[in-house]
Amino acid sequence: MNFAKPLVAAAFALGLAATPAALQAELPQGVRAPDFSTQGALAGKPFAFHLRDALRRGPVVLYFYPKAFTQGCTLEAHAFAEATDDFRAAGATVIGMSNDDVPTLQRFSTEHCRDKFPVAQATPEIIRAYDVALVREGIPAGLASRTSYVIARDGRVRLVYSNMDYRDHVRLTLDAVKALARH
């Protein structure tokens, strides 16, 4: 009996795993991050984000997540909110990215990001540019995979971490940002 498919389905339901295709971000370290503008929310208010403008202030952590108000995404937002002061101390901007609409992001930014950092729309074009399309059983799910990028002020990708388990994203991105601050 093949237990792989039921185990993968159960892991998806818990937000803990994805198929290998969804776990592999193809945007490699060292490349220039695609520039983009999008809409989102900060502390419940509409927010416009432009990557180029954010990079003028320092490194940027883009963390893509599948869907606001789901268990893993809520826990990840809480973890980033708790670490916001550490990211700021290292000179970095954190922004969460999902394909949720702006009203949903407004609620999520207040209820789960705790008004600490913005969340923005990952449009289909942004998801494609960053190669973070969540794929289930070989079919794009219309969502972003759980993938974090650290982008240095020069616009180059310094860290790519893709894993549907939210737990290491904050630690790894914060470590990468601190390493950038030391150099």
Catalytic residue positions? 73
User: What gap in Å lies between CA 88 and CA 102, rounded to an integer?
Assistant: 24
Tokens standing for residue 137: 């059983």
Closest C-alpha among 121, 156, 125 to residue 49: 121
What 3 state SS string does the chain have?
CCCHHHHHHHHHHHCCCCCHHHHCCCCCCCCECCCCEEEEEECCEEEEEEHHHHHHHCCEEEEECCCCCCHHHHHHHHHHHHCHHHHHHCCCEEEEEECCCHHHHHHHHHHCCCCCCCEEECCHHHHHHCCCEEEECCEEEEEECCEEEEECCCCEEEEEEECCCHHHHHHHHHHHHHHHHHC
